[in-house]
Amino acid sequence: MTRTFKGYKYSGQAEKYRELDFSAPIHCRLGTVKVGSIFAPLPDFMKTATVIYCDPPCSNVNINTFYTKAEKEKEGDIAAFSRRLIEAIDEIGPREVFLETFKSNVDDMEKALRAIFPFVRRYNTTYYKTHANFILHAAKQESDLPIEGMDEEAIVKYIATSRKDDIIGDPCFGRGIIGMYCTLAGTRFVGQELNKNRLCEFLTFDREGINPFTGKRKDAL
């Protein structure tokens, strides 16, 4: 039975892209993206990432919501998802990782990153400018970044503008905040996303310059 979820089509951009082959990588102005799950083998283009930014599902309730919205059968609980995400990061082998986390998963994710990176730091940050969360920064080199106390969007902008020679990879690409800021900054990116409807919101930014989060034009940083 096909179920339709009112409100889960976001602004309905997927309607425009019916002709696209969503089983294949989609080439954008400065990056490559694909509909796919972290539980599947990584596409080769994802392995070109030198820096990872990711805001992954953080709890069982949260991951269930994303699978419901994607109209897909659940593939694993949050523990299995988080294990697979860390395994995928390890396989990509980036020089640094920015991982958004919450009270519910920060300790587990920090421990998991420490198993594959020599330097891991926890920064106190916010999202939507009001809610507290954390960015875990894992790297091969020790560093002290100017992101303490910053909000998610400003951090994404910081990553996109300060790593111009890198390829920024996001395995949970969503509507593409990192893709949007990378495009505006002239930085290459790669991404994968479970939900076609969410990815299509980004495609309209790539092709028409419409911010997937506000619906307004966004031509500059």
Ligand X SMILES: C[S@@+](CC[C@H](N)C(=O)[O-])C[C@H]1O[C@@H](n2cnc3c(N)ncnc32)[C@H](O)[C@@H]1O
CB of 71 to ligand X, least distance (A): 11
CA–CA gap between residue 195 and residue 72 (Å, rounded): 9
Backbone angles phi, psi at 89, to 5 degrees: -60, -45
Of 35-43, 119-127, 137-145, 158-166, the window that binds ligand X (rule: CB under 6 A) is 35-43
Closer CB to ligand X, 166 or 175, in the complex: 175
40-69 footprint of ligand X as x/- string (CB under 6 A): ---------------xxx--------x---
Per rule CB under 6 A, count of chain residues that contact ligand X: 18
Using the rule CB under 6 A, which residue among 120, 135, 150, 172 binds ligand X? 172
Tell me, rounded to whole angstroms, the distance of Cα 189 from its chain centroid.
11
Closer CB to ligand X, 31 or 56, in the complex: 56
Question: Does the protein bind ligand X through residue 139 (CB under 6 A)?
Answer: no
Beta bridge partners of 100: 135
Closest residue to ligand X in the complex (CB): 174
- Yes or no: say if 181 and 221 are a contact pair by the CB < 8 Å rule: yes
Using the rule CB under 6 A, which residue among 105, 174, 190, 200 binds ligand X? 174
Pairing verdict, β 167-170 and 51-54: parallel
Closer CB to ligand X, 11 or 140, in the complex: 11
Question: Does the protein bind ligand X through residue 38 (CB under 6 A)?
Answer: yes
CB of 114 to ligand X, least distance (A): 23
Of 2-10, 110-118, 129-137, 193-201, the window that binds ligand X (rule: CB under 6 A) is 193-201
- Yes or no: say if 166 and 48 are a contact pair by the CB < 8 Å rule: no
SS3 for 87?
A: helix
CA–CA gap between residue 11 and residue 54 (Å, rounded): 23
Cα distance between the two ends of the chain: 44
Question: Does the protein bind ligand X through residue 176 (CB under 6 A)?
Answer: yes
Question: Does the protein bind ligand X through residue 94 (CB under 6 A)?
Answer: no
Q: What is the secondary structure of 151-198 as a DSSP string? A: BHHHHHHHHHHH-TTSEEEETT-TT-HHHHHHHHHT-EEEEEES-HHH
Binding site for ligand X (CB under 6 A): 37-39, 55-57, 66, 70, 172, 174-177, 192-195, 198
